[in-house]
Every structure is written in structure tokens, then in C-alpha cells.
């Protein structure tokens, strides 16, 4: 099929520019657009956020932020930002275009059609708008309208090759193979050095079962673009249909050189290696397939056949049995397993399998059973009919993934991340540096404490704590001695106990830290930082106990030390007290929400996340965790909205999670 791609105009000159009143916002916008151009999407969003914060009435930063989000596969967020831009300026053609693409990615093709039609009213000769409109029509199976749109596009730009390629596909859908071939020929005539034109006509020949012509066209496409695994896969199919098994295997080798994880390449090469007797290397291919898809039972059965042929009868029986467990009426499986069982001396098992086959054959003669395998030489990858296990696989559709070198640059949503909530906040002296600074964690009470110089170091509010260096560890051990001397002189000074508690905490001495925090609270029962720190240390102790096997086995006073939900009540009680003493301390609500989520009280957790966001509408960690909580409760749409906001505010892993759950919803 033709390569399907959507056009976006990134160049700033096509966006109606608004004169910015202050030079600083003008500069921030320029830096943001530079970051966008160099595919540093996460960083660019931070700059556009700054402009929006200062001048929320401008359309431009919303548009560019939407463009950045779209490149991160946050299509819901991109659509929302483009809508904001259009609300401020309804004459921005590119905003309709980007919103249209975002809607396409959410399978809202009709919404995208409306956007493109609106944009074409303002820019009726925009090639990319006609291109995307025609694609949407094709997705909606509106082939007559798609043909009319493509006819218009060809009149506007008669040398636009992709219009002919798209019309080729429309003609095929309308069963007009003559017009399809005419358009494919025209595309090659106009652009002989474009591999897509040759690949498109080659696929057309494949569909028409003209395999020699297909091979010739695909060979030319390969000559013009040697790093496309899909073209090698397609030429292998053309060669296979001509019984050129060695040539097909060579193409699969080349495809796997380009894309070593290509499923179809490994599966089909395994089948062909088996056909030419290269059994051991065929097993390697099916091992790879099963590593990628452990539940692929057709690959499992083929590997069983190969193990059988190479003398690994127990392995073959294991594979046959796994398939028969899922397909209990698969007669070929019983036949092969019976043979393998006889070879290992399991005569009783072999007799049982043979009886199953004999019974089925009698029923078939009486018209009760019918053969379910098709006569085609190929099958779709999605075909789960085990009777087709010997058939070459062809793709249901074509897709490729982009790969980038860093976590922050490029398509960060393709980075594999573990889905975990954002961690608890702590009061500490240290935090790890971040390439993308998400937010400044501030609370006036803590700032006042720092201004007084009451503690040895400046106190930070962070959930990104840093490990201490060897020198810092030495400093804190020395500080413990200093604070001990101070406590001797002033035994009722809450700050001395709190300072020493922080020292103990930083050197991982939690028990002594808790004792000092208890004493600090005894000295001043209104000193909320002590409750906040004590809650965090209690929580960390519980998390440690959950992960340490010895606590699952030891008992004290016949009581199991396994961590249970009620153990977190102590943490929650301290956070309740913090909120009572400092009702605007947003991090206490956030931490309590995390604890409630651990206790599986998800709806109460949502209440606290809501309060945290009410107090600080830019609290990215709260949006992230509220998003995960909503998804856990089945509120996927609300969850994705929250994750989109978290990504916008700097938590880049949110985009990976959005991508995963969007893919799940599409399935």
C-alpha cells in the first residue's frame, strides 16, 4: 500500500504572528520554537508554558505547545491546545491542521474532516490540507468524496505524486483496477527516483498476482532505498509465490539486517528454513518469535515440528501439548504428538491421541466436522486459525517506530518506563538536578524557617531526593555531635531535635530520627515540619518492611510483622495533624493522597489530589498520580487528561503511559 503520512507546516512564517509586548516573552517564544525545531519537545513545552502564564490571551504559544504535544503522541492534549489557540484566533489555518491530525490519531476522522474543510475555506489551495482530507475520507470509506478531493488536489498540483498514489488505493477500493494501474504508472512517470512510487505499483502487482512484475518493481524500490525492511518483506512474498525460496530467505535476511526485531521476517524465514531442511536455524527463528510473543501458538506448533525432526521429542511433545490445550480439536496436533509419544515409549498416550484422531475422522465422514483451513498460501498476522500454521504471514497493516538516543530529546513517549506513581515529598537539604525543572516547590512557612537560619542548611521540599556523597555523610555525622551538644545545653529547643533528626534521616538512621522527631513534638506540639518528616520516615520504614523477606517470616509476641493496610494509619494520622496545623500546606494533601492510594482507598485519595491541585493548579505530580488513580478506577478519559496535564508540566514519562492506554483503548 502507499505510504500514509500527514503533512504539518512547522515554519513560523505560516502562523499569523502576534506582536509580543515584552521582549522577554518574545525571547522565550523564540527559544521555545528553537527547541521545537530540534525535537526537544518536553523542553519547548516548558518555554511555551512561561509565555502562556504571562500572556494567556495569545494564540501562538497554545498552538506551538499543541504541536509539541502532538509530537509526543499526546493527541488529546494537542487537540485541547489547538482549540484554545482557535478560540483566541479562529483564522489560524495550521491550528486546524494540527488539531485535525490529533483527531485522526484519536480515530475521530469526522472531526478531522470538519477541521480540514474549515481550513480550506481560508486556504483553498493548500496541498497538505487536501491530502489529509482525502485520507480521512478514505478512513471513513467515503471513497467517492475521497476521489473528488484527490481530483481537486491533482488539478491544483498536477505534479503531486502522492495524490496519484492515494487515488490508486481509492480505485482499488472501488474495484477499478485499470484506473489504479494508470495512476501508479503516472506516479512513476512523474517521479522515477521516488522509491514509494515503485513500491506502490509493486504492491498493486502483488494484489493482482503478477508476482514477476511485483518483484521487478520492488527491486527498483530497494535500489532507491536500501534501508526499508518492509520492501524486502514484500519482495520476499513475491519471490515465495514464484517458488524462489532461497531468494525469499535472502530477502528476509536483508530485512532483519535492517530491523532485527521484525516479527514477520523471523516467522517467515523460520517457515522457509524448515522447508529447505535448515531445521536448527529455523528453531532459532521460532525461538525469537516466541520470545517476542510467548502466546503465539502457531510459532509454538512449528517449533514443535522442528524439535520432532531434530530428535528433541520431549520438547516437541511440550510444544504440541501447549497448542492442544488451547485448540483441543486440532487433529494434526494429536497426530504429531502421537508419533512423538511413541518415540519416547509413551504408548498409552500415543493410543489416546490416535483414538482422538480416528474418532474425528469418523465424524468427518458422517458430515459432523469440516476442514477449516483456507486454500490461500498466506495468512494475515491477526489470523488465529491454527490450521493455517504452515502459511506465510503478511502484515495486517504497516507501521514503523522511530527510535531516539536520549530520554528527553525526541519522542520521549517511546521510552519504556515502569508505571509507578510519583513519590512522596520530603523535607531535605538535597535534591537531584533535573534536566527539565518541573516546578519550584515553595511554602511560606518553610521559607520563613530558612530565613531565620534556624537549621544548618537550607531546607528543601522535594520528591527527588539525592544520595549523599561520602563527604556529605561525614558532615552529617559531625553535625549529629554538634546538635547533641546543643540539646544538652537547651533540652527543650525543638529546632535542635529537628536538625538532629534530619541528620539521622540523611544517614539512613530512621529509628534515631523518629526518636528525635518524637522529642521535637514533645517540645512543641504545633511544629508541623516534625509531623511531616515523621510521616515520611514511617512510610519509608513500611516500604522497607514490605520488600524485606525477613519481615514476612519473623513474629513478635505472636503477631505477624507483615505490613497491612492499618499500619499506614500512623502515617495518615501525622499528615492529618500537619493539615490541621497548616491547612494550606499542599504537600501534606499530596502525601496523604499517596498513602490513601496505598491503603486502596482510591476515592478518598482523589479527594486529596483534588485539594492539592486546588491549592496549586500547576502541581504536576498531583495531576500524574490523580491520572493513574482515575485509570485504576476505570475513568480512562479523565485519567488521560490528567496525565496530559502532567506531561505539559514536565513529567515526561506521562506521555509513554498515555500512549500505552490509548493503544489499549483502540484495541
What pLDDT was estimated at residue 237? Answer: 93
d(C-alpha 648, C-alpha 334), whole Å: 56
Exposure letters 342-352 (e unless 16+ CB within 10 A, then b): beeebeebbee
CB-CB contact of 63 with 94 (8 Å): yes
What pLDDT was estimated at residue 662? Answer: 66
What pLDDT was estimated at residue 467? Answer: 76
Residue 14 C-beta-side C-alpha neighbours within 13 Å:
15
Q: What is the distance, to the nearest Å, from the Cα of residue 65 to the centroid of all Cα atoms in its chain?
A: 20
Q: Domain locations in the chain?
A: 426-616
For 4-25, the pLDDT digits (tens) are: 444 444 433 334 444 434 447 8
Query: How is 385-423 classified by DSSP, letter by letter?
Result: -GGGTTSEEE-SS-------SSSSSS-GGGS-----PPP
d(C-alpha 19, C-alpha 16), whole Å: 10
For 427-480, the pLDDT digits (tens) are: 999 998 875 556 789 999 999 999 999 899 999 999 988 877 778 888 988 999
User: Which DSSP state fits 556?
Assistant: E
CATH superfamily placement of domain 426-616? Tetratricopeptide repeat domain (1.25.40.10)
pLDDT score of 406 more than 50: no
What pLDDT was estimated at residue 366? Answer: 67
What pLDDT was estimated at residue 437? Answer: 59
What is the mean predicted confidence (pLDDT) over 321-343?
92
What pLDDT was estimated at residue 436? Answer: 57
The answer for 141, left when phi > 0, alpha when psi is -120 to 50, beta otherwise, is: left
pLDDT score of 490 more than 70: yes
3-state SS track over 349-371: HHHHHHHHHHHHHHHHHCCCCCC
Give whichever of 221-225, 411-415, 614-618, 651-655 has the largest mean pLDDT.
614-618
Count of Cβ atoms closer than 10 Å to residue 36 Cβ: 22
For 31-90, the pLDDT digits (tens) are: 777 667 657 688 778 889 989 999 999 999 999 999 999 988 899 999 999 999 999 999
d(C-alpha 216, C-alpha 166), whole Å: 21
**Backbone torsions φ then ψ of 490, nearest 5 degrees:** -130, 80
pLDDT score of 618 more than 50: yes
For 86-137, the pLDDT digits (tens) are: 999 999 999 999 999 999 999 999 999 999 999 999 999 999 999 999 999 9
Q: What is the distance, to the nearest Å, from the Cα of residue 282 to the centroid of all Cα atoms in its chain?
A: 32
Comparing CA positions, the residue from 198, 169, 170 lying closest to residue 185 is 198
The two counts, helices (H) then strands (E), for the chain are: 32, 6
What pLDDT was estimated at residue 541? Answer: 83
Least-confidence region, from 363-367, 518-522, 545-549: 545-549
Q: Which stretches of 191-210 are DSSP H helices?
A: 195-207
Q: What is the distance, to the nearest Å, from the Cα of residue 634 to the centroid of all Cα atoms in its chain?
A: 18
CB-CB contact of 133 with 113 (8 Å): yes
What pLDDT was estimated at residue 554? Answer: 40
Exposed, middle or buried, 627 (CB in 10 Å: 0-12/13-18/19+)? buried
Exposed, middle or buried, 609 (CB in 10 Å: 0-12/13-18/19+)? buried
What pLDDT was estimated at residue 5? Answer: 43
What pLDDT was estimated at residue 396? Answer: 65
CB-CB contact of 346 with 316 (8 Å): no
What pLDDT was estimated at residue 418? Answer: 56
For 582-610, the pLDDT digits (tens) are: 999 999 999 999 999 999 999 999 999 99
Comparing CA positions, the residue from 99, 143, 139 lying closest to residue 117 is 99
Exposed, middle or buried, 436 (CB in 10 Å: 0-12/13-18/19+)? middle
User: Which DSSP state fits 425?
Assistant: P
Query: How is 446-478 classified by DSSP, letter by letter?
Result: HHHHHHTT-SSS--EEESSPPPPPHHHHHHHHH
Angle of helix 195-207 versus helix 161-173 axis, rounded to 10: 10
CB-CB contact of 261 with 281 (8 Å): no
Residue 367 C-beta-side C-alpha neighbours within 13 Å:
0
What pLDDT was estimated at residue 34? Answer: 67
List 394's β-bridge partners, or say none. Answer: 380
SS3 state of residue 8: coil
Beta-sheet pairing, 555-556 with 559-560: antiparallel
Comparing CA positions, the residue from 294, 292, 296, 266 lying closest to residue 281 is 266
CB within 8 A of 530, min separation 6: which ones?
494, 497, 498, 501, 517, 520, 521, 524
CB-CB contact of 18 with 58 (8 Å): yes
| Dihedral sign of CA atoms 541, 547, 548, 552 in order | positive
3-state SS track over 224-242: HCCCCHHHHHHHHHHHHHC
CB-CB contact of 271 with 259 (8 Å): no
User: 470 vs 629, which has greater pLDDT?
Assistant: 629
For 204-243, the pLDDT digits (tens) are: 898 888 999 999 999 998 888 767 888 999 999 999 999 9
Count of Cβ atoms closer than 10 Å to residue 177 Cβ: 14
d(C-alpha 292, C-alpha 429), whole Å: 45
What pLDDT was estimated at residue 315? Answer: 95
What pLDDT was estimated at residue 24? Answer: 77
User: 195 vs 375, which has greater pLDDT?
Assistant: 195
d(C-alpha 211, C-alpha 195), whole Å: 18
Count of Cβ atoms closer than 10 Å to residue 362 Cβ: 11
List 560's β-bridge partners, or say none. Answer: 555
CB-CB contact of 15 with 97 (8 Å): no
Rg of the Cα trace of the chain? 32
CB-CB contact of 134 with 4 (8 Å): no
pLDDT score of 283 more than 80: yes
Amino acid at each position: 500500500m502507499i505510504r500514509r503520512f500527514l503533512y504539518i507546516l512547522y515554519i513560523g512564517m505560516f502562523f499569523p504572528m502576534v506582536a509580543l509586548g515584552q521582549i522577554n516573552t518574545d525571547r522565550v517564544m523564540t527559544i521555545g520554537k528553537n527547541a521545537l525545531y530540534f525535537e526537544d519537545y518536553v523542553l519547548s513545552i516548558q518555554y511555551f508554558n512561561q509565555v502562556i502564564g504571562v500572556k494567556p490571551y495569545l494564540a501562538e504559544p497554545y498552538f506551538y505547545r499543541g504541536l509539541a504535544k502532538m509530537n509526543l503522541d499526546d493527541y488529546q492534549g494537542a487537540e485541547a491546545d489547538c482549540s484554545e489557540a482557535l478560540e483566541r484566533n479562529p483564522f489560524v489555518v495550521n491550528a486546524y491542521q494540527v488539531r485535525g491530525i490529533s483527531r485522526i490519531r484519536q480515530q475521530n476522522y469526522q472531526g478531522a474532516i470538519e477541521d480540514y474543510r474549515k481550513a480550506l475555506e481560508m486556504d483553498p489551495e493548500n496541498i497538505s490540507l487536501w491530502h489529509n482530507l482525502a485520507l480521512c475520507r478514505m478512513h471513513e470509506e467515503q471513497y467517492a468524496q475521497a476521489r473528488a478531493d484527490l481530483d481537486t488536489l491533482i488539478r491544483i498540483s498536477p505534479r503531486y505524486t502522492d495524490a496519484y498514489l492515494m487515488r490508486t488505493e481509492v480505485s482499488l477500493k472501488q474495484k477499478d483496477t485499470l484506473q489504479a494501474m494508470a495512476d501508479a504508472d503516472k506516479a512513476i512517470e512523474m517521479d522515477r527516483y521516488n522509491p514509494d512510487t515503485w513500491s506502490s505499483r509493486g504492491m498493486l502487482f502483488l494484489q493482482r498476482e503478477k508476482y514477476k512484475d511485483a518483484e521487478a518493481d520492488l527491486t527498483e524500490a530497494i535500489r532507491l532505498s536500501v534501508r526499508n525492511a518492509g520492501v524486502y518483506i514484500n519482495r520476499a512474498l513475491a519471490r515465495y509465490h514464484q517458488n524462489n525460496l532461497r531468494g525469499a530467505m535472502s530477502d528476509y535476511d536483508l530485512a532483519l539486517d535492517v530491523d532485527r526485531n521484525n516479527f514477520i521476517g523471523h516467522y517467515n524465514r523460520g517457515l522457509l528454513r524448515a522447508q529447505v531442511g535448515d531445521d536448527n536455524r529455523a528453531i532459532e527463528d521460532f525461538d525469537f518469535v516466541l520470545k517476542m510473543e510467548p502466546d503465539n501458538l502457531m510459532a509454538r506448533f512449528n517449533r514443535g515440528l522442528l524439535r520432532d525432526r531434530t530428535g528433541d521429542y520431549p520438547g516437541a511433545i511440550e510444544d504440541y501439548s501447549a497448542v492442544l490445550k488451547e485448540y483441543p480439536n486440532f487433529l494434526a496436533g494429536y497426530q504429531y504428538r502421537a508419533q512423538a509419544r511413541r518415540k519416547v515409549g509413551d504408548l498409552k498416550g500415543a493410543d489416546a491421541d490416535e483414538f482422538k484422531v480416528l474418532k474425528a475422522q469418523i465424524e468427518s465422514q458422517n458430515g459432523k466436522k469440516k476442514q477449516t483451513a483456507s486454500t490461500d498460501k498466506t495468512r494475515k498476522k491477526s489470523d488465529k486459525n491454527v490450521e493455517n500454521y504452515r502459511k506465510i504471514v503478511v502484515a495486517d497493516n504497516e507501521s514503523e517506530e522511530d527510535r531516539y538516543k536520549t530520554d528527553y530529546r525526541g519522542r520521549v513517549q517511546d521510552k519504556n518506563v515502569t508505571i509507578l506513581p510519583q513519590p512522596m515529598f520530603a523535607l531535605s537539604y538535597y535534591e537531584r538536578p533535573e534536566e527539565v525543572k518541573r516546578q519550584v516547590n515553595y511554602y511560606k512557612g518553610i521559607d520563613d524557617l530558612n530565613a531565620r537560619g534556624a537549621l544548618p542548611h537550607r531546607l528543601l521540599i522535594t520528591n527527588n531526593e539525592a544520595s549523599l556523597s561520602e563527604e556529605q555523610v561525614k558532615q552529617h555525622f559531625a553535625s549529629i555531635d554538634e546538635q547533641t551538644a546543643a540539646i544538652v545545653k537547651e533540652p527543650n529547643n525543638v529546632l535542635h531535635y529537628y536538625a538532629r533528626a534530619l541528620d539521622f534521616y540523611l544517614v539512613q538512621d530512621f529509628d534515631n530520627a523518629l526518636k528525635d522527631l518524637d522529642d521535637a513534638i514533645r517540645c512543641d506540639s504545633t511544629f508541623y515540619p516534625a509531623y511531616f518528616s515523621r510521616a515520611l520516615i514511617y512510610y519509608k520504614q513500611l516500604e522497607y518492611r514490605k520488600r524485606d523477606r525477613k519481615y514476612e517470616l519473623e513474629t513478635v509476641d505472636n503477631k505477624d510483622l507483615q505490613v497491612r493496610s492499618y499500619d499506614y494509619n500512623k502515617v495518615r494520622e501525622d499528615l492529618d495533624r500537619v493539615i490541621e496545623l497548616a491547612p494550606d500546606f499542599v504537600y501534606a494533601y499530596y502525601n496523604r493522597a499517596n498513602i490513601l492510594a496505598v491503603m486502596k482507598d482510591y476515592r478518598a485519595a482523589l479527594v486529596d489530589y483534588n485539594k492539592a491541585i486546588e491549592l496549586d493548579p500547576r502541581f504536576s505530580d498531583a495531576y500524574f498520580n490523580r491520572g493513574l488513580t482515575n485509570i485504576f478506577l476505570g475513568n480512562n478519559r479523565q485519567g488521560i487528561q490528567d496525565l496530559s496535564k502532567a506531561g505539559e508540566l514536565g513529567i515526561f514519562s506521562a506521555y509513554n503511559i498515555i500512549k500505552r492506554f490509548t493503544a489499549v483503548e483502540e484495541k
